Structure 1
Amino acid sequence: MTTTEALLLGRRRRLAVTMVAGFAGLVALALAGTVVADLADLQTVGRLADRLVPLLVFYAPAPIAAAGAYARCGGPACLAVGAVPAVVFAALVLVGTVLGVPGVGGADAPLGGVTASFVLVGVSSAFVGYCAGVTAAMLADLAGLRDDAADTEPDERNHAIDDAATDDRD
């Protein structure tokens, strides 16, 4: 797979899934913790959440996408990182509304509008991070700092070694 294909489509699917799912879990934990802290009137946790949640929702997608692009996780996975906060937020609001959690619901603002705004901000941030990561990966390739074998999954490396061994015997 060429460098362009690796950067656009990705070579490391397992890492890409881990990156997106891990970030989704972190955002879900932070948002749910904020709701629980608000309901339990825990002021210290609430103040911490007031600082942590904006960092996760608005600023974290760019560096995570940059790291994913550099690791050759692919464009779709890197851009999905930007949509994660919006999807988790919408899911939390829907679950909170269905369960009747006080203070969680779509009564204050239309859920679709808020979610679309989160998606726009997150995907824009992730796109900038993805572009930075691709640039860093291409510069590292030009400088000879990256090894092509490090860009593949362990299973693919074993197949490549097996293929090379059979090619030598022929």
Structure 2
Amino acid sequence: MSTTRALLVGRRRGRAVGLVVGFAGVVALVLVAAFVAESVGATAAAALTDRLLPLLVFYAPGPLAAAGAYARCGGPACLAVGVVPAVVLGGFVLVGTVVGVPGVNGGDPGLGDVAMSFAAIGVTSAFVGYCAGVTAVLAADLLGFGSDGAGDSPDGSEGDADEE
């Protein structure tokens, strides 16, 4: 029962917050770099960010959610990873519109649709990744190896073996 609770609710809140906030930071950094590279006309930087941004927005939530599930961060944190690109994009546009950054237009009616599409794709990818991570944890527990949770604290008090 402790493994199920760890997978659904999460046992490692610090890692869960680090997973979501760290991914949001990386997506925001790449989004700002793409905007700046596009604004100044740097073709090499724009080419890099044109490849890196779709990778982070569309492909990264699944493996990150799988890793989060395997690390027992919990379902809410793993699914939140899927919403991160849409939230970061919305926040970028909101801040850019309020501050008055040229080239950032918050009045575009299609922007909400783009953000919702990012969220739908990201959450779907994160859900599939979460399911894969849960399957990996359960298979590892069944076979008797894998991440047992020991070592979270110096005395190992948050491990699966200690809660049974």
- State the TM-score, normalized to the length of structure 2: 0.90
Find the counterpart in structure 1 of residue 125 from structure 2: 125
Structure 1 segments of 4+ aligned residues over 6 angstroms from their partners: none
Cα distance change on mapping 1:112 and 1:20 into 2, 3 Å = same
Q: Structure 2: 5+ residue runs without aligned partners?
A: none
Alignment size in residue pairs? 160
Q: Structure 1: 5+ residue runs without aligned partners?
A: 164-170
One-letter code of the match for 1:129? G
Find the counterpart in structure 1 of residue 77 from structure 2: 77
Give 1:18-167 correspondences, 5 Å limit: 18-146=18-146, 148-150=148-150, 153-154=152-153, 157-158=156-157
Percent identical? 61
Is contact 1:82–1:124 with CA below 8 Å preserved after alignment?
yes
Structure-1 separation of matches of 2:18 and 2:65 = 13
Is contact 1:57–1:122 with CA below 8 Å preserved after alignment?
yes
Q: Give the secondary-structure state (helix, strand or coil) at the position aligned to 1:10.
A: coil
**Larger CA Rg, structure 1 vs 2:** 1
- State the TM-score, normalized to the length of structure 1: 0.87
* CA RMSD in angstroms, aligned pairs only: 1.9
Cα distance change on mapping 1:127 and 1:147 into 2, 3 Å = closer
